[in-house]
Amino acid sequence: MGGQAVNQDDKRALELDFCGMRFATPLVLLSGCVGFGEEYTRVEGFSNRDVGAVCLKGTTLHPRLGNPPHRVTETPMGMLNAIGLQNPGAHHVVREILPRLDFSETRFIANVSGSTVEEYVEVTRIFDDSPIDAMEINISCPNVKEGGVQFGNDPAMSARVVEACRAVTDKPLITKLSPNQTDIAENARRCIEAGTDAFAVINTLTGMAIDVEQRTPIIGNNQGGLSGPAIKPIAVLKVHQVYQVCRAHGVPIIGQGGVCSAEDALEFLIAGATAVGVGTGLFYDPLLCPKINAGIAAYLKRHGLSEVGQLTGTLRLNGQTVCA
């Protein structure tokens, strides 16, 4: 699957509406993997036009240097990272970076991060007054001491952050959910009540790798977030669980976690995702997106489907479900 050319019919079949935004394809480049949207465009053959949207690097109110090295390490079929939200601050992003982006190519989504509810609100307000197309509320970053996953693991706190951000913007809000919590569906329900327009499911899982000779964690931050193919089955299940809540409300999901092929992307769509995030997979193959697009288009044709949206949530469970 993959490798075929995408013709005009395929292009139409891959288009979709996501919270009122037109996505050229169901693919979304994930926050933290593609800088502020420019870096990968220097790779010959790469184009932001191959994706529906690009999520920019997590942005806080003030600049952050991030965590000490090592920030990444490979693990079986995955990688751990603890970047620590290195970013130049929301004002710099809006003033210096957004004007350089080509908004005719794709949709750009800001990733709003913070240590306090007030900071989330202030960053949301700054991006609200900018050309950014949408905002992703990052209440699931596992690599910062305050905020991030502390908020995301508590449904009440998650809802508070969403509600506060909702109050200051009419732009689409996408809440990025953490897999490091007991009941992701309950959290999703609370966030919908609080006014989220969509979800990104999932952020990384917390993990640790140890240098046995030194007896120290390999990652400078001691623990990091696990991504890559190793987490894909977890992510697919979480999308399925969150979809059970979202379906009735028409709230779309960006399914993400270890996507490296068209088959992976199809799994997420069938589980309930409307769009599919690509992150770690890009590190191995920077030209992955057109291959996934071609693979999805071929699948749609083979199954007699005229648009990718028809796939969302078409999972047929085997007999009795094992999960509520």
Partner 1 sequence: MTHRDTLLVEEGEILGHQAHPGEQFILRLKAPRIAQRARAGSFVHIECHPLLPMRRPLSIMRAEPAAGWIELLYRAFGAGTRLLSAHGAGTRLSLIGPIGRPFAPHPERPRALLLGGGVGIPPMIFLAEEMRRRGGYSPLVLMGSEVPFPFTTRPSQILVSGIPEGTIAAMPLMDDWGIPSRLSSLQGYPGCFHGYVTDLARRWLAALTPAQRGEVEIFACGPHPMLEAAARLARDYALPCQVSLEEFMACAVGGCAGCTVRILTADGPAMKRVCVDGPVFDAATVVF
- Binding residues for partner 1, per CB under 8 A? 32-35, 39-40, 42-45, 57, 65-66, 68-74, 77-79, 81, 83, 86, 228-230, 280, 282-287
State which H helix or E strand residue 72 sits in.
strand 72-75
Report the C-alpha gap between 167 and 163 in whole angstroms: 6
Cis geometry, peptide bond prior to residue 202 (ω within 30 degrees of 0): yes
Q: 19, 33, 55, 141: which is the annotated catalytic residue?
A: 141
Partnered with residue 200 across adjacent β-strands are: 176, 254
Our CB check for partner 1 shows the closer of 42 and 215 to be: 42
320: left (phi over 0), alpha (psi -120 to 50) or beta: beta
Our CB check for partner 1 shows the closer of 180 and 227 to be: 227
Our CB check for partner 1 shows the closer of 33 and 300 to be: 33
- Name the packing angle between helices 288-302 and 262-271 (round to 10°): 60
Question: At closest approach, how far in Å is the CB of 105 from partner 1?
Answer: 16
Question: At closest approach, how far in Å is the CB of 99 from partner 1?
Answer: 17
- Length of the chain in terms of residues written: 324
Question: At closest approach, how far in Å is the CB of 70 from partner 1?
Answer: 5
Our CB check for partner 1 shows the closer of 35 and 195 to be: 35
Is there a catalytic annotation at residue 246?
no
Report the C-alpha gap between 231 and 248 in whole angstroms: 27
Query: What residues are annotated to the active site?
Result: 141
